[in-house]
Structure 1
Amino acid sequence: MNLIESSKKTFNNFQRQFTAFIAPYNLSKAADIYSHDEWPRLRFAHRYQSHFAPLKWKKLKILAIGVGGYEDHTYGGEALKTWKTYFPNSMVYGLDIIDKRYLEEDRIKIFHCDQNDEYLIQEVLAETGELDIIIEDGSSANEHHIKAFHTFFPALKDGGIYAAENIHHSYWPSLKDGKWSNLAKDSLELQNWINVGGSLDLNDPKTVMNMFKRLVDGLNYEEFLNPKYTPSYFDKHIVSIHFYHNLVILYKGINNEKSNFIENNQLQPFVLETLGVKSLEELDLDFSKIDNKRSEEYTKSN
């Protein structure tokens, strides 16, 4: 790099830092500090803005699953540095299957760990304690997205936020034939893209997007007319879900707002009286057709 290029780069960096300084609540400006041509700034900064701005000055614990850069030591950690800059009183944790601990600095700690290793993850969570924000951008495989949500969402404090990025892999089927497998043999990045386990079927239950779709119903579990229904952990602990292009943001809390008409998943007496019956059985409803698998699905997170 010649002197002119070096001076230009230094000036551009100063300009970005100054802009972020005079606009402290603008997350996109903070992300621009760590942007460069080969590696774009935090992609979802404009989406996170309204969710994270009220938390900016709080003392938080933030976990990013996936540090970035794969095996390339010249990239990675851009998002961690963005969170450190935007949340000046917070501790930022990163977790990656590639050893990225060389990127650690004040208020940034990185764990070298497979997000699917339940034993090691419990050790990580024992060290971090309850978390305020979790940003999941690790493995592209749908089964890993789903497992990560089951593992990490319970580690949030009430009022905590879980963000699942890059859920476009829900719509990509795995490319398992020999040609693609051979290409990916020596590249973790290509393995990530090829073995995603998504589906062309928009209703395929094994995709992470369809897991989140099912969780939407859980927001209203108090309204379910099914006397045998047992609320899942997620029914009881998700209070809102926000869908964006390629991003889902969930808030944790106590979801116990009562229904006006249903209690314990049965019609209240005044509703039965209005309908002219004394019991639910008299309505001759066929509850055997109700899919009650969602409680079984999430039993391990109770």
Structure 2
Amino acid sequence: MKGHDIEVWSAGGDSSVSGKSSQKHFDEFALNKFGRIMKSAGVETLNCMKLAHYLPEYQRLFTKSDGSKVDFLEIGVQHGGSYRLWKNFFGEDLLRWTGIDINQKCLALNNQLAPEKGLVYCGSQADPVFLEDVASQRGEFDIVIDDGSHQSEHIIASFKTLAKHVRDGGLYIIEDVHACYWKGFRGDSDSSNALSYFLGLAHSLNVQATRHERCSKNLRPDELVTPPALIRKIELLPSMIVCHMGAPLPMIEWKAGMKSVIA
């Protein structure tokens, strides 16, 4: 396809996974509305780069919002092509997109957008004052996607500031988590890891248990972690973290039947 560049990452140099060729996997990843939008790009289309397996996940996650107005915040504008992806999926009249990038050149995209449709702000995703200012003007958000610097400390800083600005039931998604394993992205000590941070937040999903009368007195502080905003569910996928924001659902113990084999 003209205007497209595709690179396959394999675990061990084998072009097949689970008995399927990389081409077969790619075709399956692209067999959805997002795939059709990506394929429609040509040499004159603004560049949008996504790992192909994100596309069916976004189809699954965003279909519930299809047909509704969506307040969307994207960290990382870069070439400007991802706006086209979201616009064509949700519909230009339903999408209110906000982009953040540290590169001043990305502000040029504002020349092509009406503010009520989309608006780019220039600043650092690690600057809480900047993020709070953007959120005060454009939030609350239904979807936040972090496709920014991929620096672990920046990912964590952005989440700590922006998580509370996502509506109940909304999504906070971190792309390209693979960078956590690459030198230059792991943090000042080269040992911090954004994925490890979110794995730690998984303890907060069991807040009902830690507040139960039967709770152990020997829990570690990390098992009593308090997230910056309530999280209902965390999904971990290759190179992607999906936080479903909102109060955790109640744990309701249901006993059906009265007999037992050990009675």
Do they superpose with TM above 0.5? yes
Tell me if the contact between 1:221 and 1:235 (Cα under 8 Å) persists in the aligned partners: no
Q: CA 1:40–1:98 in 2, change beyond 3 Å: closer, same or farther?
A: closer
Paired AA for residue 32 in structure 1: K
Which of 85, 99, 103 is the equivalent residue of 2:109?
103
**Alignment: residue pair count:** 210
Separation in 1 of the partners of 2:141 and 2:96?
10
* Greater helix proportion: 1
Equivalent residue of 2:187, what SS?
A: coil
Equivalent residue of 1:222, what SS?
A: helix
Paired AA for residue 238 in structure 1: I
Separation in 2 of the partners of 1:236 and 1:255?
11
- Say if 2:155 is the partner of 1:155: no
Separation in 2 of the partners of 1:259 and 1:208?
32
Separation in 2 of the partners of 1:103 and 1:240?
34
Q: CA 1:233–1:155 in 2, change beyond 3 Å: closer, same or farther?
A: farther
Q: CA 1:119–1:198 in 2, change beyond 3 Å: closer, same or farther?
A: closer
Paired AA for residue 31 in structure 1: M
| Structure 2 unmatched runs, 5+ | 4-31, 255-263
Separation in 2 of the partners of 1:157 and 1:38?
30
Tell me if the contact between 1:169 and 1:198 (Cα under 8 Å) persists in the aligned partners: no
Give CA deviations for 1:258-292 in whole Å, capped at 9, x if unaligned: 3649xxxxxxxxxxxxxxxxxxxxxxxxxxxxxxx
Give CA deviations for 1:225-246 in whole Å, capped at 9, x if unaligned: 2458896553871111111110
Bigger shift: residues 54-63 or 100-109: 100-109
In our comparison, the structure showing a higher alpha carbon Rg is 1
Separation in 2 of the partners of 1:38 and 1:131?
25
Output the TM-score relative to the length of structure 2.
Answer: 0.70
CA drift at 1:212: 1.3
Matches within 5 A, 1:99-138: 99=104, 100-104=106-110, 105-106=113-114, 107-138=117-148
Tell me if the contact between 1:168 and 1:246 (Cα under 8 Å) persists in the aligned partners: yes
- Partner of residue 86, structure 1: 89
Tell me if the contact between 1:101 and 1:111 (Cα under 8 Å) persists in the aligned partners: yes
Q: CA RMSD in A?
A: 3.1
CA drift at 1:146: 0.8
- Partner of residue 281, structure 1: none
| Structure 1 unmatched runs, 5+ | 1-7, 10-24, 69-75, 174-193, 262-302
Equivalent residue of 2:126, what SS?
A: coil
- Partner of residue 217, structure 1: 203
Give CA deviations for 1:98-129 in whole Å, capped at 9, x if unaligned: 02111121312100111122212111111002
Output the TM-score relative to the length of structure 1.
Answer: 0.62
CA drift at 1:218: 1.7
CA drift at 1:96: 0.1
Tell me if the contact between 1:32 and 1:41 (Cα under 8 Å) persists in the aligned partners: no
Q: CA 1:240–1:35 in 2, change beyond 3 Å: closer, same or farther?
A: farther
Separation in 2 of the partners of 1:35 and 1:161?
30
Give CA deviations for 1:23-69 in whole Å, capped at 9, x if unaligned: xx71221233346599565332222110001111110100100002x
Tell me if the contact between 2:46 and 2:80 (Cα under 8 Å) persists in the aligned partners: no
Paired AA for residue 245 in structure 1: P
Separation in 1 of the partners of 2:81 and 2:41?
6
- Partner of residue 252, structure 1: 245
Q: CA 1:159–1:38 in 2, change beyond 3 Å: closer, same or farther?
A: closer
Paired AA for residue 42 in structure 1: K
- Say if 2:75 is the partner of 1:65: yes
Q: CA 1:231–1:59 in 2, change beyond 3 Å: closer, same or farther?
A: farther
- Partner of residue 3, structure 1: none
Q: CA 1:94–1:195 in 2, change beyond 3 Å: closer, same or farther?
A: same
Tell me if the contact between 2:76 and 2:101 (Cα under 8 Å) persists in the aligned partners: yes
